[in-house]
Amino acid sequence: LIIYILSSLVATSYMLSLLILLSKNIILSKRYNLSNIFKTSNKIWYKNLLIIVLVICISYLGSCVSINIGKFAVNSLNFSLNLTKIISFSIYLFVLLGIIIFLAYSSFFLVLNNKLILSIKKSFFLVKNNYIFTFIFLLIFILINELLDFSSTLLKTNNVSILFELIKSIFLVPILS
């Protein structure tokens, strides 16, 4: 399982780097050179992997904190389960919207300037100046993703699940990146 997760993260990082590089080259020069794109991607994929791992770690930390605060609220403070769910969800939402959202464009800036810390700083300032737009964009993506997952679960057939996964992979992931 660990090998699968690590290889999936590496492949995602590499493919995301390739996709952004390809987009950059098409936009800037109206043509692209695949050998240069692969060479550049070979130099930056591991930095992109660090960004992905950072997002996963912050997300995991946020979920652990929200779950433990929820447990504390139920056990020690005798809060109702519904109130605890609201509190835990609010804390996790704060972690997503208050911290992780600022890393939204760091992979893009990493491809542009090949510097990890600088890409995180530029992403932070871009999101800070365009927070509402970034929030709405990510919210739409999350809602579409959840709607597809819910529809797939509701219909409970493998063919529909595969179709929804293809839609997410072909349309949502490239748009988000």
pLDDT digits (tens, 9 = 90+) for 18-75: 888 887 887 777 666 778 888 888 888 899 999 989 988 988 888 888 888 888 888 8
pLDDT reading at 149 higher than 80? no
**How deeply is 15 buried, as exposed, middle or buried, from its count of CB atoms within 10 A (0-12, 13-18, 19+)?**
middle
The neighbour count for residue 62, using CB atoms within 10 Å, is 19
Measured CA to CA, the distance from residue 41 to residue 48 in angstroms comes to: 10
pLDDT reading at 117 higher than 80? yes
157 conformational bin, left if phi > 0, alpha if psi -120 to 50, beta if neither:
beta
Per DSSP, the residues of 67-84 read HHHHHHHHHTS---HHHH
